[in-house]
Structure 1
Amino acid sequence: MKNENRRTFVKKAGIGIVASLSLSDIPAVMTGSVPDRPEKQEVFFTTGFKAAEVTTDSVILWTRLCGQEKPNPVVHRRREAIFRHPIDFDEEMPVGSMDGGVKGIGGSVKVQLSGGGQILESEWHSADTENDFTVRIPFDRLKPATSYRVTWTAKLPGSDALHTAAGTFRTAPQFSSPDAVRLVTSTCQYFWSYDHDERGFRIYDSMRRLNPDFFVHTGDYVYYDKPGPLGTTIEKARHQWHAMDGWPSLVDFYKGVPVYMTKDDHDLLRDDVHPFSPAYGQLTFGDGLKLWRENAPIAGKPYRTFRWGRHLQIWLMEGREYRSSNQDKDSASKTIWGEEQKKWLLETVAGSDATFRLLFSPTPVVGPDRDRKTDNHANKAFETEGNWLREYLSAQENMFVVNGDRHWQYVSVDKKTGLTEFGSGPVSDAHAQGWDQEDVRPEHKFLRVKGGFLEIAVVPSDRSAAVIKFIHRDVDGNPVHEEAFSSS
C-alpha cells in the first residue's frame, strides 16, 4: 500500500471508530476538555546558601528553598550609560516573570556538618512564606581553624524525594594563634550592572580564585531604588534578592567562602535613608528591616566584632538603624551610630589585644566626599561626630577604616589625624561613577574610578609581629595598588 493510500485508510478508519462511540466514551483529550493536572513540584537551592558570622566555634548557615532549577532568563537589553539600566522594563509585569526571578517553595531543610572528626546534624527546619522560604540554622561547639563540609538536604511536604547541595567553610583560629589571614571585601552591586552574561559579576569569580578565609560585604547588596524592578513593594524588593543571589558567580563563591554582611541605604529602603524616612512606594523602613533580616544571616545586634587569630580583629558598624535625620542641624547629639553603639565600640576596642584592627563602615569616615552629600562622617552634616571619630580611631595603634558606599576605589589619609581609609570600589566597572578621575585631592594616596575589590592579607612574621597588606584589585583580580604596614 502506498503512503498516500495508507493515510487515507487510517483517516477513514478513524472516522468510523469515532462514529461508533458515544461522546462519553471519547477521551477528554479528544474532546478538548483537558482535566487540570497539578504541576510537578521540585525543590532546589537555586539562590545558593551562605555560611556566615563564623567564629572559632560557631556559624550561622542560611539558604532559601526554590521552586525552579534556574533563574528566569535575562531578556531585556540594557542602556550603555552608567549602571546599565534595563530598556523598556515594565514595572507592572508579574513579578514571577521578571528577569532573574526565582520562585520560592515551601518545604523542609536540614544541614549536616562534618570536619575535625565531628559530624553534626540539625533538625528539619520549615521554610515558609512568612520568611520568603528562607531558613537560618546556627551551629556551635565547632573546632577552631577547622574546615567543615556543609551538606544541605531539602524535601517537599509529603515527599520522600530529597535534593542536596554541598559546600565548605573554615572556622576562625584561636585568639592566641598567629595564623595568616586573607579576606576580601566589596560594596555596591546592582543587578543590571552585571559584567558577564552567564556568570553575573566577574568580581566574585576573581575573589574566589584567591581562596579567602572570609568575605565582608559593606552594604548596598541590592538597590531597591533602581529600576528593573523598583523595590516599592515587599514582593518586588524580595525579587531583587532572589535575582542577585541567583547569579552563578555568587552561588559558586558562597559555596566555599563565609560572609559577614552590613547594610546601607539602598538595601534597606532608598538613597540616604534614616529611621524617619517616609515609605518608598508601599515599602516602609520596617519592611526593609524585615527583608534585610530574611536575607542577611546575622543574630543579635547589627553591630558586631569578630576575632581571627592573634593578629586580626574586625568591627562591623551599623549606620542606618540608630542615626539622626540627615536634615537635623549638626550638633554634639547628632549621630550616625547612636550612643549605645559608640559605647560598645569604645569598650570592645579597649578590650582588644589584636595586632591589627579593622573597622568596616558602610559609609566613609575620612573621604573625601562630594560637597553636596549629607549622609556620612566625611560630610559637614555629621562633622561633629566625624571629627570625634577620626580623632579616636587615629589614636588606636594599627587601626584602619575600610568603607563601602563609594563607587570608586581609593586610599586616603585624613590630613588632621593621619587616619587611613580604604574604599574597595563597586562590584563592576558599569557601576563606577560619582568622582572625577582627575580630581586627586591631597588626602588621596590612590584613586581609581573603576570597579573592583579590596584584598586584605595579614602575614605573621612571628607570634607577636605581622604585616598587613591592602591590595586593590580590578574586577578580574589584577592588582592595581598596594599598601603595607608592619606591626613592629
Structure 2
Amino acid sequence: MPPAPLGPFPARRSLLRGAAAVPAALALPAVPALGGAPAQARSGRPRAAWGVQSGEVTSSSGLVWVRSDRPARMIVETSATESFRRPERREGPLLGPGTDFTGTTVLSGLPAGETVHYRVTLADPDDPRRTGEPVAGVFRTAPADCRRNVRFLWSGDIAGQGWGINPDIGGYRVYEEMRRLAPDFFLCSGDSIYADGVIEPRVTLPDGRIWRNVTTEEKSRVAQTLQDFRGNFRYNLLDEHARRFNSEVPTVAQWDDHEVRNNWYPGQILDDPRYAEKNVDVLAARALRAFGEYLPHSSPPRGGRMHRVVRHGPLLDVFVLDMRSYRNANSPGRQVRDRRGILGPEQLAWLKRQLTRSRAVWKVLAADMPLGLVVPDGRTDFEAVAQGDPGAPLGRELQLAELLRFIKRQRITGTLWLTADVHHTSAQHYAPERAAFKDFAPFWEFVSGPLAAGGFQASPLDATFGPRRVFVRAPKRANVSPMESPQYFGEVSVDGGSGELTVRLRAEGGTVLFTRVLQPGRVGQ
C-alpha cells in the first residue's frame, strides 16, 4: 500500500474559495478576454483568471507566476498562515504586452521546511489603489536537514495527438488526482504543450464514441508565430484542475520536441506544407520565449539556458537536462565519433561538474528523452539516444557512454533517470553484465506519461547498455485516447530516516502499477 500523503498543507482544499476562486475552466472559452490575447480594456480592475503558479522551490526561495488581462503591477504577499496575518509584501514586475501580460516574482529569504501561503494582487499601474481580486496559492519549502521526507511526482505529454480538454470526462481530471497526493513538487518532463498538434472540436473513436474538445483559435493550426505559441500555453490553463494543481504544487519544467515541433533539432529546415516558416531555429526561438513567459523558471530561457540543478534540500538534487537545444541532427546514429551528441559538449561538461559537486543523497537526472528505448524518426533516422544496434556505442550513445563511465569512476552514487516522451510507462534496469559497453555502474530508468495525450505501444530496447525491462504498461495500438486508456504519472518519495527512495508508477484512477525501493549509496540494485 502506498503511504499516506506527507504532512498535508493546512486547509489546502479550501485554499481557492472566496476571493481567490476563478471561473470554471470549461466556461472560460466563452469569455472573450480569456479566449486569446488580452483585450487591454482600461475600464474595470485587472483580473488574474488564469490562476497562479509556483516553481523551482528550494529551502529558501521560490518563484510565483501570474497573468493579467491588461497592463498591471504584480504584487505578492506571503504569510505562514492562510489568514495572512502580518503578511510580507513584495512588488513584482509590471505586466505588459512584451511578456503577454505574464510575470514571475522571486521569493527569497523563506524559512526552510515550512508552508508558505501567498496571494497575488494585480494593481492598475496608473492608479495603484485600483486592484483586482487576489488569487491565492501555497507551497512548502524544501527541508534544511535529512529528517523530513521528500516526495514529488513526474510525467509529461499534455494535449497531444488531438486529445485536448474534454468536458464530457471532466477535462484534465488527472491533475486533481495528483493534487490530492500533496507532493512537494511536480517535474514536468517535457511536451508541456503540443505546438504542432491541432485540437479539433470532435474526434470519432474506433468504437464510434465521440471525443469532444474545448477549442481555441490558436489550437486550430500549428504554432508558428509568438502569439500561436503563447496560445498553446494558455490552452492548458483553461482547465480548472490544472489551475488548481498549479496553485498548490510547484513545478520544475523542462522542454522536449512538441514545445516547438515533433522531433525537431537545431538547424532543421522543414519540408512540411503546414508551415510557412521553414526554419526550425526561428520557431524554436519563439517557442522558448513563450515557455519562459508561461512557466516559472529560475533561469529565464530567453537568452539563457534550460539545463540547471534544482536543489531540494540535502536529500535530493534534480538535474534538469536539455536534450533539444544542443543535439546534432537526427540520423541513423552510426557515427564512430560524435562530439555533439544529444547534450552537446558544454552541457555534458556542466553535468559532470555539477554531479561531482552534489552532496545530495539522491541525484535525479531528469531527461526529456529515454536512454535505451528506441525512438525512430522516419524510416532511417532516430530521435533519442538509442538506434537499435546492440553492439558497442555509436552516434549519440558515445556521449552517454562517456557520462556513465565518468559517474562510475568518480564513484558518484544515488543517480537515477526519470523521463516521459514515449507515451507509456515502464521501468528499466541497466547493468554492465548484460551490455556491450561495460564500463559503468548499474542504474535505473523510469518512464511515465502521457498525462493528457494519446497512448502508444511499448518501445523496443537497445542492448548496448544492457537494459532489462522489469515492468511495462502500454496500449496495443497507436494513439489510444484518454477515454480508452488511463493516463500515467510517477511518484518518487525519499524517507528522511533511512534515505530509502521509492518509485511508484501510477495509472489514473488511483492504481499503483509498479513499486521499486532503492537504497542510498548502493549500486547494482
Shorter-chain TM-score range? 0.7 to 0.9
Asked if 1:239 corresponds to 2:231, the answer is: yes
Aligned to 2:307: 303
Query: Which residue of 1 is the match for residue 244 of structure 2?
Result: 252
| Conserved 8 A contact 2:423-2:456 | yes
Within a 5 Å distance, the mapping from 1:114-125 to structure 2 comes to 114-115=79-80, 119-125=87-93
Native 8 Å contact 1:401 1:421 kept in 2: yes
Cα distance, 1:378 vs structure 2 = 2.6
SS in 2 for 1:193: coil
Q: 1:130 to 1:434 in 2, by over 3 A?
A: farther
Tell me the SS of whatever aligns to 2:354: helix
Q: In structure 2, what is the equivalent of residue 476 of structure 1?
A: 509
- 1:178 partner letter: R
Q: Secondary structure at the match of 1:443?
A: strand
Is the CA contact (8 Å cut-off) linking 2:422 and 2:459 kept in structure 1?
no
Find the partner of 2:143 among 156, 173, 188: 173
In structure 1, the residue matched to 2:210 is: none
Alignment partner, residue 398 of structure 2: 384
Which residue is equivalent to 2:181? 210
The equivalent of 2:488 in structure 1 is 452
CA contact (8 A) 1:318 1:362 kept: yes
How big is the shift at 1:295? Answer: 1.7
Q: Which amino acid aligns with 1:451?
A: Q
Q: Please name the residue that 1:132 is paired with.
A: 100
C-alpha distance in structure 1 between counterparts of 2:293 and 2:489, whole Å: 26
Distance 1:49 1:390 in 2: 39
Larger-Rg structure: 1
- 380-389 or 180-189: bigger deviation: 380-389
Q: Please, what is the CA RMSD of the aligned residues? A: 2.8
2:11 is aligned to none
What CA deviation, in whole Å up to 9, does each residue of 1:336-363 have, x standing for no partner? 2122221221112112222222110011
**Partner deviation per Cα, 1:257-287 (whole Å, 9 max, x = no partner):** 11110011111x2112222123753462221
Higher deviation after alignment, 376-385 or 147-156 = 376-385
* 2:285 match: 286
Alignment correspondent of 2:112: 144
User: For the residues of structure 2 that align with 1:278 and 1:134, how far apart are their CA atoms?
Assistant: 31
Q: Report the Cα distance in structure 2 between the residues aligned to 1:381 and 1:405, rounded to whole angstroms.
A: 20
Distance 1:119 1:177, change over 3 A: farther
Identity percentage of aligned residues? 23
Matched residues, number: 407
CA displacement 1:95-141 (0-9 Å, x = unmatched):
xxxxxxxxxx2222211111289743222531111111111111211
Cα pair distance change 1:312/1:161, threshold 3 Å: closer
The alpha carbon displacement at 1:233 in A equals: 2.2
Q: Tell whether 2:518 aligns with 1:485.
A: yes
1:192-207 matches, cutoff 5 A: 192-194=162-164, 197=167, 199-207=170-178
Out of 449, 460, 463, the position equivalent to 1:425 is 449
User: Residues 373, 171 of structure 1: CA spacing in aligned structure 2 closer, same or farther, 3 A cutoff?
Assistant: farther
Query: Cα distance 1:239–1:405, how it changes in 2: closer, same or farther (>3 A)?
Result: same
Partner of 1:185: 154
The one-letter amino acid paired with 1:295 is Y
Match of 1:276 in 2: 267
Deviation by residue 1:9-68 (Cα, 9 ceiling, x = unmatched): xxxxxxxxxxxxxxxxxxxxxxxxxxxxx89555322222211111111112111113xx
Matched, 1:264 2:270: no
Distance 1:182 1:118 in 2: 30
Q: CA deviation at 1:248?
A: 0.6
2:373, 2:461 within 8 Å by CA — same for their partners in 1? no
8 A contact 2:376–2:383 mirrored in 1 = no
If the length of structure 2 is used for normalisation, what is the TM-score?
0.71
CA apart distance, 1:396: 3.3
Which of 386-395 and 139-148 deviates more? 386-395
The one-letter code matched in structure 1 to 2:451 is V
Please say if residues 56 and 173 of structure 1, whose CA atoms lie closer than 8 Å, have aligned partners that are also in contact: yes
Query: Hey, what's the Cα distance between the residues in 2 that align with 1:290 and 1:250?
Result: 22
The amino acid across from 1:274 in the alignment is Y
Partners of 2:413 and 2:372 in 1: how far apart? 17
Matched-pair contact (CA < 8 Å) for 1:189–1:431:
no
2:92–2:104 contact (8 Å) kept in structure 1 = no
Matched, 1:45 2:48: yes
In the superposition, the TM-score normalised over structure 1's length comes to: 0.77
CA distance in 2, matches of 1:442, 1:346: 23
Cα pair 2:190 2:255 within 8 Å, conserved: yes
Distance 1:460 1:162, change over 3 A: closer
Q: Are the counterparts in 1 of residues 75 and 123 from structure 2 also a CA contact under 8 Å?
A: no
